Amino acid sequence: MFTKTTIIVLMASMVAIAVAQQFFNQQPPNMGGAIGCVVTGKKLYSHGNYIRDLAEDEFKELKKYKKELTAFKKKIDEAFANAENLERTNATIPPMPLRPAMPAFCSKSDTTMYIFTGCTVQNYKVYVAGKYARDLTTKEKKQLDIFAKQIADKPTPAGNGTAPAPPAKQINLDFCTEF
């Protein structure tokens, strides 16, 4: 027979597993809050930097995500509220619901932040100590795009016996210099 404490510990463990899933599954990571993807009204921010206004289809995606997130939170609340009933009846703990995937606009190229020594680059803008410094030049934008493609195409160790591709020519990204 489960005690109330045991059920609470099991439920807390399931919540921890659900949160961990967000970091180890194939979906984009949950980077909500001040360090990730934030929307206010129709304004999209990433890592505290204004990116752009959401397109109408993205705003619909946001509304859908909020609705799914509300349903997810309700299921979690119901599971905790039902913990005592599970203890009394010695019932099996139901499976943990999956948290909805973050909206796709949170992981597009314009929200990706590149961290370099001395600065960060996001949405083709250079930031020093979190403050806007300048826009990238056309040449620098092309270099960043090539770099991003190299990172995206980089083979990951999958243990499938295939040999990794030879490394591409390294691009010198000189967006800022720290002394």
The share of the chain scoring above pLDDT 70, in percent, equals 72
Which tokens belong to 35? Answer: 């360090």
Run of H or E including 146: helix 138-153
Please give the C-alpha separations between residue 19 and each of 4, 16, 24, 166, in angstroms, as whole numbers. Answer: 23, 5, 9, 36
11 pLDDT more than 80: no
**Could you give the CA distance from residue 47 to residue 31 in angstroms, rounded to a whole number?**
9
Summarize pLDDT for 88-107 with one digit per residue, the tens. Answer: 777 677 778 889 999 999 99
Distance CA 67, CA 90 (A): 33
Under the banding of pLDDT at 50, 70 and 90, the label for residue 80 is confident
Predicted confidence (pLDDT) per residue in 130-141, tens digit? 899 999 999 999
How far apart CA 86 and CA 71 sit, in angstroms, is 21
- Bridge partner list, 50: 45
Confidence of residue 111 (pLDDT cuts 50, 70, 90): very high
104 DSSP assignment: G
**Number of C-beta neighbours around residue 102 at 10 A:** 20
Domains, the chain, ranges and CATH?
Answer: 4-106 (no CATH), 112-154+170-179 (3.30.1120.50)
In angstroms, the CA 2 to CA 87 distance is 5
Closest CA to 60 of 68, 48, 52, 71: 68
Three-state secondary-structure class, residue 78: helix
Whether the pTM exceeds 0.75: the reply is: no
Rounded Cα distance between 124 and 114, Å, is 10
Q: Contact 133/176 with Cβ under 8 angstroms?
A: yes
